[in-house]
Amino acid sequence: MKLFKFPEVVQREVLRSMNYRELFFLSTCSKISFKLIQKFRIKLPSMGYHSSKTSVCIGMTMSNGQGQNFVNMNSQPVSDPQPTQMFKCVVSGTPLFFSVQRQFQYYFYTIAFDTTTADLIVESIHRHLNLLFFEENNEHMVTVTMSKNLICLPKLSNIKRSSISGSPVTADILEMCISKSYDQMSLIMFTSISGELKKDSKLFQVPYLTLYHTYNLTPVLLTYFNGISGFFDRALFTNTDVIRFLKMWETGESFVKLRALVVGMDYGNQLNEVEILREFCVKPWDNTQKTRKAQWNDERINILKPEAGQIFDGWEITTKSGNKTASIEIRTSSFRFLTWI
């Protein structure tokens, strides 16, 4: 390759002028090209995977927050009005065949594959990109669009964040999706969950959990959730569920890691603040105590984050041991619980 004949400073500038898709495919040409790109440390913040019924798309996030696809892999051969030429590349020792298809004004690199080998292809590209662009502890993102005959992703390293949308997902399929990650840190679900969750469900162990269609799962979440932050919208729950949750936290029986919990009622349901508070020793939240610091000041916590002096009509509650303090706000249609130090 002629590039390797130029001085190092020229090689560096040539590589910097290429986009990440071009760098990816250049790196598959030979071990020398791979090591050259790796040497110049052209790094990326995170990698993303989007899985749907007919395709798996692998992309990345740049430092400015914009995204770009590396490859879009279809389970069926690419349909192109013009004859499509297939090319061969070797990724992590795996021979892959791809074509370049023009869509709109952009180029999308598409790898055609049999669905029985999808896991192998995704794993190979994941290893390749990790070594090429990323530091060891990068957090990658998986987004899944649920549909019939979904192409499920294999287990991948450093997958810390996931989002699931599309058709409703069964509890069994959800467990399978969550288990694909070795160390799942956050999960956002834009779709509903059907079926029952077991007491040992992996969903309860996700540190940062956001559910936009919670419905009847709310009581079990308010009993078994063991994460740091929970945001549960369109929830079906009662005063009794809130009382049980607060008593378990107050006695130290559960929710020892919890820093923030926000639950929004589904339409037609209401909470009764008086009925709930009569079960506890609480006092009005004092906005003048400026020394309080939030325990939930974390960008991964998906809630509106007030300062201590911005809480109105809230109540202060402490654990029986007196070592933890929380503010609670109870509306007819919502419940918010935040811990402070």
Domain membership of residue 323 (yes or no) is: no
pLDDT value of position 19: 78
For 16, other C-beta atoms within 10 Å of its C-beta total: 10
Domain membership of residue 29 (yes or no) is: yes
Can you say whether the dihedral through the CA atoms of 173, 177, 180, 184 is positive or negative?
Answer: negative
The answer to whether the pTM exceeds 0.75 is yes
- ∠ at Cα 285 (280, 287), nearest 5°? 170
pLDDT value of position 150: 64
For 153, other C-beta atoms within 10 Å of its C-beta total: 22
Residues of the domain holding 33: 1-42
Give φ, ψ of 305 to 5 degrees. Answer: -105, 100
pLDDT in tens, the chain (341 residues): 567 677 878 888 888 888 777 888 888 888 888 888 888 766 666 777 777 766 677 777 665 656 666 666 655 444 444 445 667 778 888 887 766 655 533 445 555 555 556 677 778 888 888 888 876 666 677 777 766 556 667 777 777 888 888 888 889 888 887 877 667 888 999 999 999 999 999 999 999 999 999 999 999 999 999 999 999 999 999 999 999 999 999 999 999 999 999 999 988 779 999 999 999 999 999 877 766 777 767 777 766 666 656 677 899 999 999 889 999 999 999 999 999 88
| Coil, strand or helix at 249 | helix
pLDDT value of position 152: 65
The count of domains in the chain is 1
Domain membership of residue 24 (yes or no) is: yes
For 251, other C-beta atoms within 10 Å of its C-beta total: 11
Domain membership of residue 4 (yes or no) is: yes
pLDDT value of position 83: 46
Q: How far is Cα 218 from Cα 207, in angstroms, rounded to an integer?
A: 17
Residues paired with residue 203 on neighbouring β-strands, in sequence order: none
Q: In sequence order, what are the residues at sequence separation of 6 or more whose Cβ sits closer than 8 angstroms to the Cβ of residue 196?
A: 171
pLDDT value of position 100: 60
Domain membership of residue 25 (yes or no) is: yes
Domain membership of residue 10 (yes or no) is: yes
Q: How far is Cα 91 from Cα 296, in angstroms, rounded to an integer?
A: 42
Q: How far is Cα 87 from Cα 78, in angstroms, rounded to an integer?
A: 13
Domain membership of residue 211 (yes or no) is: no
Q: Which of 128, 125, 105, 130 is nearest to 113 (CA)?
A: 125
Domain membership of residue 8 (yes or no) is: yes
